[in-house]
């Protein structure tokens, strides 16, 4: 059975919970060394991302990554923040990425859920609908 990056992240979290905070740096270094010795350094960024996601959920936060074709105005950001708070009952931690390939609209990733409200996605769906008909 293959262990996933998410499982490695949870294991590190649980291990660090049980030791004094003065030892966390040492344990983290040993953890990284473990992967380096096995030639699996490429998995570390994914483990770090999963650990960050888990820590956010434990803290009552939820990571929200927003991609848009242009910088979003404050009203749009406030609307997204309010909607996430209402649905997930957690404080959203927003990160932004400009992606001109989207043409317009937004693509929002909340945990493992993706909401694609981009113009590019609508055009693709329209093309698929036309080809089926």
User: What DSSP letter does each residue of the chain carry, written as one string?
Assistant: -PPPHHHHHHHHHHHHHTS-GGGHHHHHHHHHHHHHHTT-GGGHHHHHHHHHHHHHHHTTEEEEEEEESSPPPHHHHHHHHHHHHHHHSSEEEEEEEE-GGG-SEEEEEETTEEEEEEHHHHHHHHHHHHHH-
Query: Which pLDDT value is given to residue 96?
Result: 94
Query: Which pLDDT value is given to residue 129?
Result: 84
66 with 90, same domain: the answer is: yes
52 with 66, same domain: the answer is: no
Token pair for residue 53? 């996601």
* Residue from 48, 64, 66 nearest 110 by CA: 64
Question: Averaged in consecutive runs of 10 residues, what is the pLDDT profile of the chain (133 residues)?
Answer: 90 88 90 92 92 81 91 94 92 91 92 89 89 70
Structural domain boundaries, residue 126: 61-132
29 with 75, same domain: the answer is: no
Q: How many domains does the chain have?
A: 2
81 with 36, same domain: the answer is: no
15 with 37, same domain: the answer is: yes
Query: Which pLDDT value is given to residue 133?
Result: 59
Does this model's pTM top 0.85? no
66 with 98, same domain: the answer is: yes
52 with 108, same domain: the answer is: no
46 with 85, same domain: the answer is: no
80 with 104, same domain: the answer is: yes
């Amino acid at each position: 059975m293959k262990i996933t990056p998410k499982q490695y992240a949870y294991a590190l979290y649980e291990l660090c919970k049980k030791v004094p905070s003065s030892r966390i740096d040492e344990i983290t270094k040993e953890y990284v060394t473990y992967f380096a010795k096995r030639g699996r350094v490429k998995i570390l960024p994914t483990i770090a991302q999963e650990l960050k996601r888990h820590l956010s959920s434990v803290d009552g936060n939820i990571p929200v990554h927003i991609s848009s074709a242009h910088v979003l105005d404050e009203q749009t950001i406030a609307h997204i923040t309010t909607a996430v708070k209402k649905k997930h009952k957690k404080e959203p931690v927003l990160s932004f990425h400009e992606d001109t390939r989207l043409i317009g609209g937004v693509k929002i990733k909340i945990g493992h859920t993706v909401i694609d409200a981009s113009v590019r996605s609508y055009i693709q769906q329209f093309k698929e609908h036309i080809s089926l008909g």
